[in-house]
Structure 1
Amino acid sequence: MSGVDPDALARVHHAFIRPMLDTGRMPTRERAADELNMSLGELDDALAALAGIHGVVLDPHDGEPWVMHPFSATPTATWVEHGDRGWWAPCPWCAFGIAGLKQGKATIHARLGGEHEPVVVHVQDGRVLETDLVVHFAVPPRDAWNNVHRFCASVLLFRDRDAVAAWCARHGVAEGGTLSVRQAWELGRDWYARHADPDWRKWSAVQAATIFERTGLSGPFWHIPPADDPF
């Protein structure tokens, strides 16, 4: 986006992401403005610009950060546990991103297919222990920001590919893309690896496509068309 200072947006992004990662709580706009020595109006302008490049989802009522991937400031169906801390994640992709940022041992709590059966995934020593699970994406990632909440809600864990097919038939959802839980871990780890960095930048479309290819995600469903804007 022309006219937007990427270094300034990175500082605003970091002022929210770092405390969230360290404490499990999203700071208020007032607190972030004080930390950045900005007026609330200046911060709100920066947050609006950050939302414009999909770096944050703002609450439409009060303008507070609602989702700053891989974190959600409000409850979701996916919970990441790490020591005495915990975070809500918008989806398993984000949950693996949080586990990658924290490193060490993490436990992800979710429900298979977003239904009644709980599932627990452990990440330890840089690998996922429950290797038989899969993750299904109902919406192509290139279309995520058409409705990011719907996109995140439809990224779900399943026992296997047969369970994905049965779920799609049951709910009238077209089968999308299914990857192994190991691939989902690698995708989350690599995608969010720099999200807590002070000099964070959104991935370009080319960078995003490279991460997908490196994770073994290829074919029309995973295709990310070239673009000038951040992905």
Structure 2
Amino acid sequence: MRINNASLHHYIMKHIIDKGNAPKVAEMAEAFNVASDEMITALKALQDYHGVVLHPISSEVWVMHPFSCAPTNFWIESDSGCWWGNCAWCALGAAALLERDLTITTNLGAESRQVTIEIRAGKVINENLFIHFPIPMVNAWDNVIYTCSTMLMFESESDIESWCARHSMGKGDVQPINKVWEFSKVWYGNHLSPNWVKWSVDEAKEIFARFNLVNPVWDMPSSNSQF
């Protein structure tokens, strides 16, 4: 098997979906018939391409959007498996990739009140939820783990405003869950493809515009580089 960004991304993504966890460096090295050092170099190239996030010491897979390989506030569960999503957006993206009935359990605003979102036959059952996007997309990859940790679910915009005041967080964009669900289907729609290519900034901007995401949070200078 030839190793490149697309083939490595597909191998890891399929492993996560099938088994609920990421393959280890040694396992990937064996699968691609390369030395561990060569595999780590390939993983770091995929990370530079924004296709994976690695543990800084071990170079094992930490995050492959939309999935997390470490515990988060978004637990995804179906009859055939369970996973962690990185954030509200990622959890919905994971649900779209999984293409099965499932639930997403999270705490509103990552605080004490828990809610379970049901997705049945491709539809979100409990619609009266909102997702907050406080970090400008132009800064999303400055610290993508932190960015994801702030994309949370709430019951109302007023709840978001009080949450922002309580945690000294600037208010960003607020979108209803059903809109983010449809957006996530498109955003993550190619993530299991063997020919996966990371969205460029310009492609990302086009998708944002398609879903009428016009808050300044979504603004980015035009670029052909990967998002």
Q: Does 1:106 align with 2:86?
A: no
CA distance in 1, matches of 2:120, 2:207: 22
Q: Does 1:27 align with 2:45?
A: no
CA distance in 2, matches of 1:83, 1:212: 33
What amino acid maps onto 2:90 in structure 1? C
CA distance in 1, matches of 2:78, 2:187: 19
| Within-5 A mapping of 1:126-165 | 126-165=122-161
Q: For residues 158-178 of structure 1, what are the alpha-carbon distances to aligned partners after superposition, in whole Å with 9 as ceiling and x for unaligned?
A: 001111111111111111010
The TM-score with structure 2 as length reference comes to 0.95
Identical-pair percentage: 37
Aligned residues: 226
Deviation at 1:219, TM superposition (A): 3.2
Structure 1: which 5+ residue stretches go unaligned? Answer: 1-6
Which stretch of the first structure deviates more once superposed, 209-218 or 73-82? 209-218
CA distance in 1, matches of 2:35, 2:197: 23
Contact 1:70 1:98 in 2 (8 A): yes
Contact 2:202 2:224 in 1 (8 A): no
CA distance in 1, matches of 2:203, 2:47: 20
Moved over 2 A (4+): none
Aligned to 1:79: 75
Aligned to 1:97: 93
Aligned to 1:219: 215
1:64 to 32, 35, 60: 60
Root mean square deviation, CA, Å: 1.4
Deviation at 1:200, TM superposition (A): 0.5
Deviation at 1:192, TM superposition (A): 1.0
CA distance in 1, matches of 2:141, 2:65: 12
What amino acid maps onto 1:40 in structure 2? S
Aligned to 1:4: none
| Within-5 A mapping of 1:136-215 | 136-215=132-211
Aligned to 1:118: 114
What amino acid maps onto 1:70 in structure 2? P
CA distance in 1, matches of 2:138, 2:183: 15
What amino acid maps onto 2:196 in structure 1? W
CA distance in 2, matches of 1:221, 1:22: 34
What secondary structure does 1:51 align onto? helix
CA distance in 2, matches of 1:80, 1:207: 28
Deviation at 1:204, TM superposition (A): 0.8
The TM-score with structure 1 as length reference comes to 0.94
Contact 2:108 2:114 in 1 (8 A): yes
